[in-house]
Amino acid sequence: MSIYDFYQILGQLVFIVGLFLLVLLSTTLILGRMQIKENRLIFPKLLLFTVDVFYGLFKKFSEQVGVDGKIVDQIGVEVRNKVNEKLFSKIKPKDKILVLPHCLRHAECQANLETSGIVCKNCNKCVIGVLKNKGEEMGYKVYIIPGSQFLKKIVEQNKFKAILGVACYQDLNLCMMNLSNYPVQGVPLLRDGCVNTKVDSRAVLEKMGAILPNNSEIKLDSSCSSETHRKKSL
């Protein structure tokens, strides 16, 4: 084979691989958007394969075609949630872990940071206290963590069968990816950032399997409104 033939075959291979990737990323983007919009599973294994294996490339591709790269994390989270939801709900709370991000804390939070994470004092100033109390009452082990290093330690040091986490879409997707051996569930933050974040508490409680009171006075959609959280008792 001459050097010319070698480069010709190499060029054809690169073209075929490029074309394959283009079709794969486009198909996943279209199906992922449909999945998010219609809340039903469409080729979940294909979607998760693309998100997990081509994560960075898929984000760049989405941005190139004018779609916010955040959609890649959204697809990963929503598909995994849907795939795992039945199995997760069958596992008893005592075998599950609930992980909350410390950024949900009230600005005046007095809780200390220890090796297991933030030790909430149940001052009722933020939603963490509500979720923690309810989770522990149901049997969950609850952790409030400042970063993924803590999550690694929690996973290593605990025996559990399932995990429910709250985080921004990107952190949630990457954690769910790393914990894909478990029937993991995630609730994305409504407002992300380093402080003063916000979560749909009702969505967290529903995923926990909590029976919610039919009480419209209980406002459960914010993170650190001191007024509302003092009133909560679930």
Give the footprint of ligand SF4 on this chain (CB under 6 A).
105-106, 109-111, 120-126, 128-129
Q: Which is nearer to ligand SF4, 32 or 129 (CB)?
A: 129
CB of 114 to ligand SF4, least distance (A): 13
Burial class of 146 by CB neighbour count within 10 A (0 to 12, 13 to 18, 19+): middle
**Residue 40 burial by CB count (10 A; 0-12/13-18/19+): exposed, middle or buried?**
exposed
Q: How far is CA 158 from the centre of its chain?
A: 20
Task: Say how far apart CA 146 and CA 10 lie, in whole Å.
Answer: 48
Element (H, E) at 165: strand 162-167
Nearer to ligand SF4, 80 or 105 (CB): 105
Residue 46 CB, shortest distance to ligand SF4, in Å, is 40
Task: Give the nearest distance from C-beta 110 to ligand SF4 in angstroms.
Answer: 6
CB of 157 to ligand SF4, least distance (A): 22
Of 124 and 185, nearer to ligand SF4 (C-beta) is 124
Q: Measured from the CB atom, is 64 or 110 closer to ligand SF4?
A: 110
Least distance between ligand SF4 and beta carbon 176 (Å): 24
Q: Which is nearer to ligand SF4, 178 or 225 (CB)?
A: 225
